[in-house]
Structure 1
Amino acid sequence: MQTLLSEQARLLPRAAEAESILRSCVHCGFCNATCPTYQLLGDELDGPRGRIYLIKQVLEGHAPTAKTQLHLDRCLSCRNCETTCPSGVDYHNLLDIGRAVVDAAVPRPAGQRLLRQSLRAVVPNPGLFKRLINTGERLRALLPEALQAKLPRNVRPAGERTTARHPRQVLILEGCVQPSLSPNTNAATARVLDRLQIGVIPVSQAGCCGAVDYHLDAQEAGLNRARRNIDAWWPSIENGAEAIVQTASGCGAFIKDYGHLLSHDPAYALRAGRVSALARDLVEVLRDEPLEQFKVNAATRIAFHCPCTLQHAQKLGGAVEALLNRLGFNLTPVPDSHLCCGSAGTWSLTQPELSRQLRDNRLNALESGQPQLIVTANIGCQIHLDGAGRTPVRHWIELVEEALI
């Protein structure tokens, strides 16, 4: 696509990257065929091609408006369009660049600012988040239905978490909301890894991956969280930790981007690249291990929801399904498994109506094979889908641990 950045845009730190991405787009429109918001709204500006055009206009000197901001806000960042695109357009990085420029130029209404600031204050803070969840549980009956749906159903306690040392050691990202919403996920992961003679190194100084801030108008704050995590993990990396394991694919996708996002930071570029190279979704670790040495009782009929951050961002579509099939689980077919459930981090809170429509569409597809249980690989998807009060939804590692004999 022919592009001529304005003089002001050329001063942006990522101007060359933005221009390169814009020039790679041939405007074929294949992306719209798999865009969840375009499918719901039928508006060209609520599809990737239209959003690229809006960003192009802004970077060429046209003043952005609240309408520009709305169409960019409606994007889930699911990256389905990147999987579909025959030209390899790096859409999500262009979107991040465009959003930063638009958000700097277009003040948000007070209600939006309050919501986004509240989410940034609460979600990355595990202690505060847990206190609010506990309060919500006590007041559940008094809360609006939309808030009740965000509270977990039937939380399983973490149980004993092994601290055994093994020659093989990995780091694990504890996460922000997962310790409160699904505390058994990382505990089950540690127990399964322990049975494989892989130890988990606890690093309490590591916190939120940074994605929440980064995608809520605070990109530098998100990058500062990335820097703190790199500092926290670095001593263990130097001592031979072989991987940084994530059980939430949304966090994993962002950590794998640290190297790119901090490539221009002389103090962190090399270490960020090393961290991204060591980042592994849990399935990337377990698929290479001899799980067949254990007996497996896999009688439950399940459907797997593959999060967008796993299949489109990390390019691991089919990996969990292959592992579950290998262990003998009975997976039901899921039509349109490439589509988003509408969680998308905090998007379900900033775009609740569209999010519910996508959730219900996804559940209809997941339930079409009449599974007893739905499993997924991302805490946001898990809570969002489970909040409909239909088929129970859990993390797949919990099911695997329970099935190992």
Structure 2
Amino acid sequence: MQTHFSEAARAKPHIHEADRILRTCVHCGFCNATCPTYQLLGDERDGPRGRIYLIKELLESDDGDEQVTQETQLHLDRCLSCRSCETTCPSGVEYHKLLDIGRAEVDRRVGRRPGERALRLGLRTALVEPKRFQALLALGQTFRPLAPHDLRDKIPPRQRPGSRGRQARPAPTRHARQMLILEGCVQPGLAPNTNDATARVLDRLGIGVSAAPEAGCCGAIDFHLNAQAAGRQRMRANIDAWWPLIEQRGGTSSAQAGVEAIIQTASGCGAFVKEYGEMLADDPEYAAKARRISELAKDLVEILREEDLEALGTSDSSARLAFHCPCTLQHAQKLGGAVEGVLARLGFGLAPVRDSHLCCGSAGTYSITQPTLARQLRDNKMNALEAQSPDTIVTANIGCQSHLNGAGRTPVKHWIEVVDEALMA
């Protein structure tokens, strides 16, 4: 794709990066075939190719150009950032990076309506601090029957960790092999059993799991709500929380015995932490540490697929599962099929799922900022997941899990919980 930036414009880092990405696009349109919003709306501007043109026109225009309107902002907002288009693209266009640039620029020029600003600030305030989120969640659960319908399906019933008398987390110090785990910001409140189940399963494989108490939200919520400076500050805070434990347990060389990995059980967090090195590459104080953190970041399935699963035993469960592969697992981390492979090795029966590449509509905070589209995508996804009448639907991301459960249909769990339950049966 030809671009028409001046030399002065190209000297700006974000324009230089956008120019590089735009020039890789051959506007073939293959991306539209796998874009969820294009499939629903049929508008070129609601597909990746159209959005690329909108961003190009935006960046090539002057600040006072009337073409930069709230309509452009709307079409960019409607994008799920699912990155299905990147998996499809034959030219390797890094669309998600271009989208971040375009969203930041259009927000700078157009701004936001007061209601939108309040909603986005409220999401950033409520979701990123675990204790605050859990307090608000408990309040919402108490008054759930009185909540409006659109909000009610986003408030899950209370879950209690350590159910069925199981030890919540085995002591990690009894194992030579050690890994850190990112607790996450909303997962401890919405699905407290997920990380406990992870610790129990890995304990059976001789791996101790512990968390850095000071580590918090990965930064994705701030970053994707266009508070990118705040998102990067959360990255730095997490690096500061993890770094002493990495140094204490073996330094920064992967050849040394120590922390083998930083596990993420939410694929959205995993995709983001794996990009710390790239997003902090220009920070002289954090660049090297961020690269090391990204090297250590592993989705849970990356750990289990390399282990001797016979040590866990096979599942005696007759339950049939349908796996929803989150976009952040299959498109961002390129781990499509990995969870299904682990579950099959453990003896679980898996139902086929049509259109498994399409997003469920959760997409971080998308289900709140774009509720109508998110609900349509959720219902389509549930229809596909339930087509073979599975007993349980499993996934690998807390956002997808909560969003799909909001339909009130077949129960949705994290896949490691089903593994843990089968092993403890």
Following superposition of structure 1 onto structure 2, how do residues 15-94 of structure 1 map, counting pairs within 5 Å?
15-62=15-62, 63=65, 64-94=68-98
Deviations 1:173-231 (Å, cap 9, x if unpaired)? 00000000000000110111111111112210100000000011200100110011111
Alpha-carbon RMSD across the aligned residues, in angstroms, is 1.2
How much has 1:11 moved relative to structure 2? 4.6
Contact map agreement 1:153 1:386 (CA 8 A) in 2: no
The AA in structure 2 aligned to 1:81 is C
Residue 162 in 1 paired to residue 170 in 2?
A: yes
Please point out which of 218, 233, 253 is paired with 2:227: 218
Task: Indicate the residue corresponding to 1:392 in structure 2.
Answer: 411
Deviations 1:311-333 (Å, cap 9, x if unpaired)? 00000000000110111101101
Distance 1:136 1:80 in 2: 34
Q: In structure 1, the residue corresponding to 2:328 is in which secondary structure?
A: helix
Residue 232 in 1 paired to residue 241 in 2?
A: yes
Contact map agreement 2:215 2:241 (CA 8 A) in 1: yes
Q: In structure 2, the residue corresponding to 1:368 is in which secondary structure?
A: coil
The AA in structure 2 aligned to 1:352 is P
Residue 140 in 1 paired to residue 144 in 2?
A: yes
Distance 2:5 2:221 in 1: 29
Distance 2:3 2:92 in 1: 17
Contact map agreement 2:267 2:328 (CA 8 A) in 1: yes
Distance 2:8 2:393 in 1: 49
Residue 276 in 1 paired to residue 280 in 2?
A: no
Following superposition of structure 1 onto structure 2, how do residues 314-353 of structure 1 map, counting pairs within 5 Å?
314-353=333-372
Residue 300 in 1 paired to residue 319 in 2?
A: yes
Distance 1:77 1:18 in 2: 17
Distance 1:262 1:57 in 2: 28
Contact map agreement 2:161 2:193 (CA 8 A) in 1: yes
Deviations 1:354-400 (Å, cap 9, x if unpaired)? 00000000000000010011000000000000010000000000000
The answer to which of 213-222 and 11-20 deviates more is 11-20
Please point out which of 116, 122, 125 is paired with 1:118: 122
Task: Indicate the residue corresponding to 2:196 in structure 1.
Answer: 187
How much has 1:164 moved relative to structure 2? 2.8
The answer to which of 297-306 and 116-125 deviates more is 297-306
How much has 1:163 moved relative to structure 2? 2.3
How much has 1:156 moved relative to structure 2? 4.3
Unaligned runs of 5+ in 1: none
The AA in structure 1 aligned to 2:104 is A
Please point out which of 260, 274, 278 is paired with 1:256: 274
Distance 2:107 2:371 in 1: 20
Contact map agreement 1:158 1:185 (CA 8 A) in 2: no
The answer to which of 11-20 and 287-296 deviates more is 11-20
Please point out which of 216, 219, 226 is paired with 1:207: 216
Residue 267 in 1 paired to residue 289 in 2?
A: no
Q: In structure 1, the residue corresponding to 2:409 is in which secondary structure?
A: coil
Contact map agreement 1:126 1:177 (CA 8 A) in 2: yes
How much has 1:282 moved relative to structure 2? 0.2
Distance 1:300 1:154 in 2: 24
The answer to which of 192-201 and 278-287 deviates more is 192-201
How much has 1:15 moved relative to structure 2? 2.6
How much has 1:10 moved relative to structure 2? 2.9
TM-score normalised over the length of structure 1: 0.98
TM-score normalised over the length of structure 2: 0.93
Residue 127 in 1 paired to residue 135 in 2?
A: no
Residue 97 in 1 paired to residue 133 in 2?
A: no
Distance 2:150 2:170 in 1: 37
The answer to which of 147-156 and 7-16 deviates more is 7-16
Deviations 1:125-147 (Å, cap 9, x if unpaired)? 11111111111111111011111
Task: Indicate the residue corresponding to 1:291 in structure 2.
Answer: 309
Residue 106 in 1 paired to residue 104 in 2?
A: no
The AA in structure 1 aligned to 2:280 is L
Q: In structure 1, the residue corresponding to 2:413 is in which secondary structure?
A: strand
How much has 1:7 moved relative to structure 2? 5.9
Q: In structure 1, the residue corresponding to 2:393 is in which secondary structure?
A: strand
Distance 1:156 1:393 in 2: 16
Count of aligned positions = 405
Distance 2:159 2:45 in 1: 40
